Structure 1
Amino acid sequence: MTAHHPMTAHPMTAHSMTDRTMYFQHSDEIWSEHPGLVAGVLLATGITADAVVEPRLHAFNTRAKARLAAGTEADLPEIQAWRRTFSQMGLKPTRYRCASESLLRRFRKEGALPRIHPLVDLCNAVSLAFAIPVAALDVAEISGHLEVRHASGDESYLTMSGEPESPEPGEVTFTDAAGHAHARRWTNRQSGRSAVRDTTRTVLIVAEGVHASAATDVPDLVAALADAVGGVWPGTVRTAVLSRSAPRFDVEV
């Protein structure tokens, strides 16, 4: 049975970092501009591509269907809040959608999502159920720290098909110490560089909410996902909920 270790986030300090330690955080500018942000993180080891997750997917999908029964994804407060956030960032929210809205839209129209990898399928199902964007990144493909911050414009981004792009200056990205952008337009699109694949063993999962009840919903999502991941894979799971006063999650790799 997987061991679940709640991990307490802590303020940034000046202690020396070893080459076996990475960390995830949001920049202070992001916290200033989006004071309603609640970020949950989960680190999971021992991931494999041969796990069976169907029963758990069904439970989360049932919850998503119940929420969509009364309307569309655009009616959900979680999605409305991200649309306002995208507008605040100068993005047209019906052109650039947060990941959970895109998933819900496809799920509503097609009744199911394509299967990609057991962990990705599980994260997508949880994202559907909570209407909150969930990003799963292969830790082996992240160089040093990973920070959600405004792009300078010289970061490198790889699409899922392997095409190179450069984020616009000022765009919110997930950027590592080597200048690799692991997401574009914040919660809009992940990079193919750190996408979960059959060789992935350790993952960093990030869930971000900006709606009124995010302080309750994001921890609930992280707890549900930790329970699901821990029940499927034999590794360890550690979690934290980040804040402006405790923005960093350290990862021993």
Structure 2
Amino acid sequence: MLLSYAPDITTTHPTLVTAVIRADRITATADVSSRLPPLEAAARRRLDTGQISEFPEIRAWRHAFSVMGLKPTQYRCAAESLLRRLEKSGNLPSIHPLVDLCNHVSISLAVPIAVFDLTHIASALTVRPAEGSEHYLAFNGETEQPEPGEVIFADNAGEAHARRWTNRQSARSAIRETSSDVLIVAEALHDDAHDSLSMLLTMLTTAIRETWGSHMEGELILEGERQSVPGTPHRLLE
């Protein structure tokens, strides 16, 4: 099991649904450019319908951040940050083919997606409250320590690979040119989260298989319990 949740996370957030995909054979030379415009167009259509803060998906994450004691206008889930960047600047930056793909799926569904390089993760990830002793590598090169009780993605070595749950990933396990074996995690809390993440699983597993020829395992986790999704690839990496 590469991803699990502490019991108090699923108890406090009972509507949580998570999509997890593990894939190999990822390269930085793949071309996903033809897949991005339809996803961006879907996001723009939603932006034309109303305020980002009123999207059900974003509203649910804002509520979760409030429950965690965070100001939703100061700390935003990754999907909201991407949508606001798209609305303000008109486009998203190109980082890596897989990251670009996931970012565009994220804005199309208003669901935060994290992409981790498994080479830099010790064994597995647990979404749990921080103890305060964990280390987080910021993208500016500085090492931070999450506050005790802050929700983090922690590995078995005490490294925090994301802070404030879906707010900010770590540079330690960020996708880079040499990344090959990856873990993709999408999380949602809104009423139709199961349908949204089932769609997300289909979109991403199809795109990744067709682009990289990856072996994949895809699952939904409902309130912390693993449940396989019919019709998605389930082949374990060899």
TM-score, structure 2 length as denominator?
0.94
Secondary structure, aligned partner of 2:208: helix
Q: Is 1:142 aligned to 2:127, yes or no?
A: no
CA displacement, residues 59-109 of structure 1 (integer Å, 9 cap, x when unaligned): 111110111111231121100110000000000000000000000000011
Percent of aligned pairs sharing the same letter: 48
Q: Tell me the equivalent position of 2:169.
A: 190
Q: Is 1:72 aligned to 2:51, yes or no?
A: yes
Q: Tell me the equivalent position of 1:55.
A: 34
Output the CA distance in 1 between the equivalents of 2:29 and 2:38. 20
Output the CA distance in 1 between the equivalents of 2:220 and 2:194. 9
Q: Tell me the equivalent position of 1:24.
A: 3
Of residues 53, 57, 60, the one that matches 1:81 is: 60
C-alpha change, 1:28 and 1:248, in structure 2 (3 Å) is farther
Consecutive unaligned residues in structure 2, runs of 5 or more = 229-233
Of residues 73, 76, 82, the one that matches 1:97 is: 76
CA displacement, residues 125-148 of structure 1 (integer Å, 9 cap, x when unaligned): 000000000000001000012100
Output the CA distance in 2 between the equivalents of 1:60 and 1:103. 13
Output the CA distance in 1 between the equivalents of 2:93 and 2:48. 21
Output the CA distance in 2 between the equivalents of 1:172 and 1:30. 8
Shift of residue 23, structure 1, vs aligned partner: 2.0
Alignment check: 8 A CA contact 1:23 1:248 kept: no
Superposed CA RMSD: 1.7
Shift of residue 252, structure 1, vs aligned partner: 5.7
Of residues 109, 114, 123, the one that matches 2:102 is: 123
Alignment check: 8 A CA contact 1:52 1:118 kept: yes
Of residues 157, 160, 163, the one that matches 2:136 is: 157
Of residues 180, 190, 193, the one that matches 1:211 is: 190
CA displacement, residues 27-56 of structure 1 (integer Å, 9 cap, x when unaligned): 111111100000010111100000111110
Output the CA distance in 2 between the equivalents of 1:192 and 1:122. 19
Q: Is 1:36 aligned to 2:15, yes or no?
A: yes
Alignment check: 8 A CA contact 2:35 2:101 kept: yes
Which is bigger in relative contact order (C-alpha 8 A, separation at least 6)?
1
Q: Is 1:222 aligned to 2:215, yes or no?
A: no
Of residues 142, 146, 149, the one that matches 1:167 is: 146
Shift of residue 243, structure 1, vs aligned partner: 2.3
Of residues 98, 109, 134, the one that matches 2:88 is: 109
Output the CA distance in 1 between the equivalents of 2:74 and 2:210. 37
One-letter amino acid matched to 1:141? H
Q: Tell me the equivalent position of 2:216.
A: 237
C-alpha change, 1:173 and 1:245, in structure 2 (3 Å) is closer
Shift of residue 209, structure 1, vs aligned partner: 0.2
Output the CA distance in 1 between the equivalents of 2:201 and 2:135. 29
Q: Runs of at least 4 residues of structure 1 off by over 6 A?
A: 248-251
Output the CA distance in 2 between the equivalents of 1:224 and 1:248. 18
Consecutive unaligned residues in structure 1, runs of 5 or more = 1-21
